[in-house]
Amino acid sequence: MARHPAQPETVNILIVGQMGRLAYEALLFALSLRHSTKDPRFKLFVAEPRSGPMWRTDPTIRPEPLREMLQSQGATILPFQTNHFGSDYPYGNKIEALFAMPKGERFIFFDTDTLVTGELGDVPFDFSRPSASLRVEGTWPQIELYGPGYSEIWQSLYNRFGLNFESSLDLEQPDEYWRRYLYFNAGFFYYTCPHVFGQEFLEMALSIWKEPPPELVCQQLMPWLDQIALPLVIHKLGGGRNALPEGYLDGQTTVHYRNMPLLFARESDAVVDLLEEISAPNPIKRLLKDYEPFKRMIYQNRGHKVRDLFDREHLPTREQPIRQKIKKNGFWMV
């Protein structure tokens, strides 16, 4: 009998959408994905937290035309139950939503404040070796005078979960410099199964949150909890900082813009052109204008006024001075 060719494996893309900013960002993400990635293996899921006791207000995506537009762009809206975080720590959505995804199928999680700018099918993923975003600054831990240093803090976490701390270090970086230690932004991450990844992520995050090691006594866990637990999960599952070649995610294939003023300040002309192209059709415009930062930045030209403030060939290396300059000129919006 003739053998049928193997079907290409699906790659499920997960973002979280809920009432407010994330819903509008989710639509932009979906538009950019459909525009830039033609590979049919990639399927978009927009995870939506169900209303319940963990939420102070109803988080479901509204208005209805926005839901319908998301679905028209190929997105599957995926309700999920919030059992642990909710309003107290909405970043926990990215952990709890993983359990609503198809079990045993490869996935990529993206923050909604991301644009897909290239073909995801060209990214050389090794899903058996997870990784996450290295577009990150040394936001955690913040070292206090007379308190524990980086090594002592991070080693206490690796010890908590029975992980080898020394094998996680980048020995080309100096001792007690934050880049020596495995640390990611949680703007994207991926693996072979969302349930396996999610179970490790949930257990580690809850353990740190409910009973932090003594070495963390001086440290803020909010809003950094997901980024504290994430490197531990990736290390345990056999991934690391070099699992994905540079230049694709947070590069030529995706852009994690964070908010509209920062997008116009920092990103390339090609990214701005893409944003303006996908947001231009009148049915899209009518929806996106309901979100004030999109209305002001995209449609009322404030984005280009922000852009004129900066020389993108000589941007500050840290994000804070960029934010301060935007705020000083009255253009900051979130």
pLDDT (tens digit per residue) in 229-238: 999 999 999 9
Tell me the pLDDT band of 8, cut-offs 50, 70 and 90.
low
Whether 198 contacts 98, CB under 8 Å:
yes
Mean pLDDT for 247-256 is: 96
Mean pLDDT for 147-163 is: 97
| Gap between the Cα atoms of 237 and 255, Å rounded | 25
Q: Residue 272: is its pLDDT beyond 50? A: yes
- The predicted pLDDT at position 334 comes to 87
Q: Residue 291: is its pLDDT beyond 60? A: yes
- The predicted pLDDT at position 2 comes to 45
User: How many H helices and E strands in the chain?
Assistant: 12, 8
Q: Residue 55: is its pLDDT beyond 50? A: yes
Q: What integer best gives the mean pLDDT of the chain?
A: 95
Mean pLDDT for 189-213 is: 98
- The predicted pLDDT at position 1 comes to 44
Type of residue at 329: N
Structure token pair of residue 65: 């035309």
Tell me the pLDDT band of 180, cut-offs 50, 70 and 90.
very high
3-state secondary structure at position 160: helix
Q: Residue 3: is its pLDDT beyond 50? A: no
Whether 90 contacts 20, CB under 8 Å:
no
| Gap between the Cα atoms of 87 and 76, Å rounded | 24
- The predicted pLDDT at position 280 comes to 98
Structure token pair of residue 91: 């970043």
Higher local confidence (pLDDT), 3 or 242: 242
**What is the phi/psi pair of residue 266, to 5°?**
-110, -35
Percentage of residues in the chain with pLDDT exceeding 70?
A: 98
- The predicted pLDDT at position 264 comes to 98
pTM of the model: 0.95
Mean pLDDT for 269-291 is: 97
Q: Residue 37: is its pLDDT beyond 60? A: yes
- The predicted pLDDT at position 236 comes to 98
Q: Residue 33: is its pLDDT beyond 60? A: yes
Cβ-based neighbour number of residue 199 at 10 Å = 15
Q: Residue 112: is its pLDDT beyond 70? A: yes
| Gap between the Cα atoms of 151 and 166, Å rounded | 10
- The predicted pLDDT at position 198 comes to 98
Mean pLDDT for 135-151 is: 94
Q: Residue 254: is its pLDDT beyond 80? A: yes
- The predicted pLDDT at position 6 comes to 47
